Amino acid sequence: MLFDWFTFFAQIVNFVILVYLLWRFLYRPINQVMDDRQKQLQARWDDAREKQVKAQQEAQKYQDQQAELEAQREELIAQAKAEAEEKRQELRQAAREEIQHRREQWQEALRQEQESFYTRSRIKLQEETLKICRRILRDLANADLEQQAIALFLQRLQEQSNGENSLNLKNGESQQVVVCSGFELSSAQQQQIALAIEQQNLIPSNQVEFSTNPDLIVGIEARFGDQEVRWNVKDYLQHLDRTFSELFATNISD
């Protein structure tokens, strides 16, 4: 059997042409389509990756915003609580001050009322006590009591005449002395007092005048220049009045 070289080479040429045709019209377009498809897939993949990254970034941003909002919310809540507590303290302090102010007003009103009551009571008690004392002294007034008043007056006269600031009448002063008593003095009693004044080298007995003053009750007084000699129940009543005043003043302050 003879080898057909023409046929062999023709088949080779046909094969090459077939390969070329396949590469040119089939393999190349397919590769082109596959490359395009790969590029599309890669583009989609890159876009998906980019979107995923953006989505993660947006998610992180959202989480950060959420955390920031939560922090702000907590801060606002804490600030609101602090402001509420401060307001509550202010209201409580204002309520305390108002209560204290009202208490002070009440205490002041009570003190004034007590003071007014004590004052009225003191004045009434003093008036009634003095009235009773005067009435008693007037009812008990008699010759013995009046003579005792004279004796006490003369004792005061002697004590003041012999003391450091002895009684005297300065030049230019009136050389007449008026002895005032709360009761009528008899002639003998007037003479007794005038002589006692003269014995103290104060003024002659004939220059002593006498008068009466019911307010003195049982008492006698005489003025020598700027000095005075007196014995008067009224002094004891005034002392009693001051004692009452001091007692009520102490009770009010307590």
Residue 153 to residue 90: CA distance in whole angstroms: 73
pLDDT of 251 above 70: no
State the pLDDT confidence band at 172, using cuts at 50, 70 and 90: very low
Q: What dihedral do alpha carbons 21, 27, 33, 38 form, nearest 10°?
A: -160
Q: Rounded to whole angstroms, what are the CA distances from 68 to 62, 79, 82, 244?
A: 10, 16, 20, 80
pLDDT of 170 above 80: no
pLDDT of 201 above 80: no
As a whole number, mean pLDDT of residues 231-253 equals: 68
As a whole number, mean pLDDT of residues 21-37 equals: 77
pLDDT digit string (tens) for 62-105? 888 888 888 888 888 888 888 888 888 888 888 888 888 888 88
pLDDT digit string (tens) for 136-157? 666 655 567 778 888 888 888 8
Do β-strands 177-181 and 208-212 pair in parallel, antiparallel, or remain unpaired?
parallel
pLDDT of 164 above 60: no
